[in-house]
Amino acid sequence: MSSRRSARLSAASVRAEQDAGPATTVAKAAKNINRATTKSASARKVKSGAPSDSDLPLPTKTSASRKRKTVLEDPSPELPSGDGEAPPKKKKTAAKASKPAVNDAPPATPPRTKSKAKTILPPITPTPAAATIMSDPYNPDDSDAQPVPLDRLALPLGTNAPLVTPETHRLITRPPLDSISPSKAPAIKLSTTDILSKALEHLIKIEPKLKPVIERYPCRIFSPEGLAEEIDPFQALVSGIISQQVSGAAASSIKAKFIALFAPSPAPSNYFPPPSVISAAEIPLLRTAGLSQRKAEYIQGLASAFHSGSLTTEFLFSAPYEEVFEELIKIRGLGRWSVEMFACFALKRLDVFSTGDLGVQRGMARLIGKDVEKLKKGGKGGKWKYMGEKEMEEMAEKFSPYR
């Protein structure tokens, strides 16, 4: 009976297999195709150098911990070994920005620097133009009109420039040396041709340190050519007032406009308005030349002094320096420095010594070995001096009568 049952089961199995034969065959074929495709892909991966996931070893606890430690130290990912090179590791960022290289371009905005405390500069030495403008000759700067230097009598303590009266244009000068009577000649004869050389010899004899300075800077003012130039003292004083507290270029411009207010047409090149014309002019008219209210008043007051006769060209030529100084200092607008520069550069007196001139102060301070730059910086609140007046006068006394 059991044999009969087994035979029936076997027959049923054979029939089932026959019925499902085609489907099973298809399934097996599909399975084989998939397996072949997988093997082909795996083969390509192996050939290209990239291992499959199944070939990589499983990480152990030790390797995992090491990996975490590596990640903390170096966050850059590792690439699997192969023909390609791994990218360079990133450098650690410093806490502070490194200084730029020497060749790097400068930053757009420069770094702020601590501002130094402003130092008070010493007072400006009056510009030489303010003194030089006083020595403008009466004759125009024309070679044909330049006076021929004459060998005239010269005095160390007197006026050596030929002076022209502002109203009548009369020339006041010393006679030629050869026309002086022997009985009236001074004990020491000095002329306009040799007084400068005698003065320089005296200065070098007293102080040999002055020799290189004298040789480097020739003195034209007291040369024979300089002493031959005719000077209008009124024009020189007006020019000095105009040039106060302004540059040389500004002073020349204002002076030209001032002359144009009164110049006739056509006007000679050496024209300058006389005191009688200026004293009668209105202050507003004088100001149109660029003068301040004060300067216009000063110039009109000076013109009135010349026009009234209280100040004359003859007095400026023949009076002792002390009297000339006292008379001029009374006029508004003429301070001590202006009078001293007028006496030296216009009247051409050789024994004028200005203790208030900063250029003279600097020169004397350097002569005795003082540090001029240190003295500049040491001044506080603008109150400073290179040397005291008493010390300067005592030092300069030995250079008389050519101070």
CATH (domain of 233): 1.10.340.30
Q: Which residue segment(s) compose the domain that 290 sits in? A: 137-180+189-352
Q: What is the pLDDT of residue 371?
A: 78
To which residue do tokens 């110039």 refer?
A: 299
Predicted pLDDT at 200: 96
pLDDT of residue 378: 60
| 303 within a domain of the structure (yes/no) | yes
CB atoms within 10 A of CB 146: 14
Q: Which pLDDT tens digits describe the chain residue by residue (403 residues)?
A: 555 555 555 555 545 455 555 445 544 555 555 555 554 544 444 444 444 444 444 444 444 444 444 444 444 444 444 444 444 555 554 444 444 444 555 555 555 655 554 444 333 444 456 777 888 888 755 545 566 677 899 999 999 999 999 999 999 999 887 777 666 666 667 999 999 999 999 999 999 999 999 999 999 999 999 999 999 999 999 999 999 989 889 999 999 999 999 999 888 888 999 999 999 999 999 999 999 999 999 999 999 999 999 999 999 999 999 999 999 999 999 999 999 999 999 999 999 999 888 888 888 888 888 877 776 666 554 445 677 889 999 999 999 999 9
Cα atoms in the 13 Å half-sphere on the side-chain side of 48: 10
Residue 55: CB atoms within 10 A of its CB come to: 10
Per-residue buried b or exposed e for 6-28, using 16+ beta carbons within 10 Å of the residue's own CB: eeeeeeeeeeeeeeeeeeeeeee
> How confident is the model at residue 82, as a pLDDT?
42
pLDDT given at position 6 = 54
Q: Is residue 388 part of a domain?
A: no
**pLDDT for the residue numbered 108:** 59
Is 366 a member of any domain? no
One-letter identity of residue 347: L
Does pTM surpass 0.85?
no
Residue 395 maps to a domain: no
Structural contact between residues 304 and 275, judged by C-beta atoms closer than 8 angstroms:
yes
By CB atoms closer than 10 A (0-12, 13-18, 19+), residue 238 is buried
Give the Cα separation of 403 and 387 in Å (integer).
17
Which pLDDT value is given to residue 402? Answer: 94
The verdict on residue 52 lying in a domain is no
Beta strands 163-164 and 171-172, pairing class = antiparallel
Q: What is the number of domains present in the chain?
A: 1
Question: Do residues 315 and 324 touch, judged by C-beta distance below 8 A?
Answer: yes
Residue 262 lies in a domain: yes
Distance CA 276, CA 273 (A): 8
Measured CA to CA, the distance from residue 371 to residue 375 in angstroms comes to 6
Domain membership of residue 69 (yes or no) is: no
What per-residue confidence (pLDDT) applies to 309? 96
